[in-house]
Amino acid sequence: MQKYAQFNLGNIKLLSGKVLKSAKLIYKTYGKLNKDQSNVILLPTFYTGTHKRNEGFIGKNRAINPNKYFIVSINMFGNGLSSSPSNTIKSQKGSEFPEITLWDNIYCQHKLITKKLKIKKIALVAGWSMAGCQSYQWAAQYPNIVKAILPFCASSKTSIHNHVFLEGIKAALITDANWKNGKYKKQPIAGLKAFGRVYAGWAFSQDFYRKKLYKKIGYENVKNLLDDWGNDHAKNWDANDLLCKLKTWQLNDISNSPIYKGNYIKALKSIKAKTILMPCNQDLYFRTEDNVYEKKFINRASLRPVDSPYGHCAANPGNDKSFQKKLDKNISELLI
């Protein structure tokens, strides 16, 4: 089986005006494209996700079924696979990597879909968290290509509170003396561990901890969970990569583009795709209220909030079977 594929973009002019040199997208496909190209599902990646993590949303007994659909899973810039501070050319490596927006990501993903894969229509763009943010971006940036979107635990514009939350975890990372303004020779391990430990307080709800649900996902106690989250970030992530994507997240705004020029309501109204918004009411940073506001302006949108003590991580595959069941039901509805 194909491990993954690479699409070379060359030099790409970014929304900021700067140039991302020798840009590349790493992606993987599942299933087969049918003759009329009506079975395409696009899955962008989430903040600490890769195409591999997206496989948790795919299955022969799931709504996103590779026996029925042609699934394209595209890695976001900054995730260590597609162009990132850790893997780019020397002149843009590390702290020299340019600022990337979701506009830039989707502009390049569109090139992959249309130029490389020769696809003209996308049946569904769906995703969790930052992947969901990319589904809105797709629908606003290329409204005539996307038939349906399902962002879950996501928003079309990063709220001020969400921005502040991200500043907190960023501060935990860069306080490490080894950070050196991103010009470190060795990873700032203490900072990465602090980043993960702080994040753990936001990823789940208060009820998750009150009811000791961490025991249901393999942790004997809170210390084990905190240690694991800290160690996971220290072992698996480059600090500059994490902060590159964090900045992309903070800049998330579908109206930040040459098309809408900051007119957020116009951008929402431009979305033609049939839309299901699926927030978790216990999510501490992608709040249901943001989706309630969006629904007022997205013409074909319905709001399907879910209650889960797992909070933002209700969507993480394997955590909450009830959330997964509702997600698959909503996806199936959009693919009819």
**Region 300-319 average pLDDT:** 97
- State how many domains the chain has: 2
β partners of residue 150:
126
- Active-site residue 163, yes or no? no
- Condensed to tens digits (0 to 9), the pLDDT of residues 255-298 reads 999 999 999 999 999 999 999 999 999 999 999 999 999 999 99
- Look at the block and give the residue holding tokens 């979701």: 102
Which of 104, 255, 312, 320 is labelled catalytic?
Answer: 312
Domain co-membership, 147 together with 179: no
Q: How much is the pLDDT for 159?
A: 98
Domain co-membership, 132 together with 80: yes
pLDDT at 1 over 80: no
User: Residue 227: CA atoms inside 13 Å, Cβ hemisphere, count?
Assistant: 7
pLDDT above 70 covers a percentage of the chain that reads: 99
The answer for residues whose C-beta is within 8 angstroms of residue 68's C-beta and 6 or more apart is 31, 39
- Active-site residue 73, yes or no? no
How far apart, in Å, are the Cα atoms of 72 and each of 94, 118, 288, 289, 312?
A: 28, 13, 28, 30, 24
274-277/301-303 β-pairing: parallel
Q: How much is the pLDDT for 98?
A: 98
Q: How much is the pLDDT for 120?
A: 97
- Active-site residue 91, yes or no? no
Output 168-171 pairs: Cβ under 8 A, ≥24 positions apart.
168/198, 169/195, 169/198, 169/199, 169/202, 169/246, 170/195, 170/243, 170/246
Distance (Å, whole) CA 305 – CA 307: 7
pLDDT at 2 over 80: no
Which of 86, 129, 255, 257 is labelled catalytic?
Answer: 129
Looking at residue 83, what DSSP letter applies? S
Domain co-membership, 53 together with 150: yes
Claim: this prediction has a pTM higher than 0.95: yes
pLDDT at 198 over 90: yes
Q: Which of 73, 72, 78 minimizes the C-alpha distance to 20?
A: 78
Distance (Å, whole) CA 161 – CA 310: 20
Domain co-membership, 104 together with 241: no
279 close to 153: Cβ distance less than 8 angstroms: yes
Position 88 confidence tier, pLDDT thresholds 50, 70, 90: very high
- Look at the block and give the residue holding tokens 């190209």: 37
Structural domain ending residue among the three candidates 196, 213, 246: 246
Domain co-membership, 99 together with 219: no
Structural domain ending residue among the three candidates 246, 280, 313: 246
**Region 158-165 average pLDDT:** 98
Domain co-membership, 183 together with 148: no
Containing 291, the helix (H) or strand (E) segment is helix 288-295
304 close to 333: Cβ distance less than 8 angstroms: no
- Look at the block and give the residue holding tokens 């900054």: 78
Structural domain ending residue among the three candidates 224, 246, 268: 246
Q: How much is the pLDDT for 90?
A: 97
Containing 26, the helix (H) or strand (E) segment is strand 19-30
Which of 238, 283, 290, 320 is labelled catalytic?
Answer: 283
The answer for residues whose C-beta is within 8 angstroms of residue 186's C-beta and 6 or more apart is 178
Q: How much is the pLDDT for 7?
A: 98
Domain co-membership, 281 together with 195: no
Domain co-membership, 73 together with 18: yes
Domain co-membership, 324 together with 308: yes
Q: How much is the pLDDT for 204?
A: 98
- Condensed to tens digits (0 to 9), the pLDDT of residues 214-227 reads 999 999 999 999 99
Domain region containing 226 = 162-246
One-character DSSP codes across 112-170: IIIIIS----BSEEEEETHHHHHHHHHHHHSTTTBSEEEEES--SB--HHHHHHHHHHH
Domain co-membership, 124 together with 180: no
β partners of residue 148:
274
Q: What is the mean pLDDT of the chain?
A: 98
Q: Domain holding 239: CATH number?
A: 1.10.1740.110
Q: Domain holding 51: CATH number?
A: 3.40.50.1820
Domain co-membership, 20 together with 124: yes
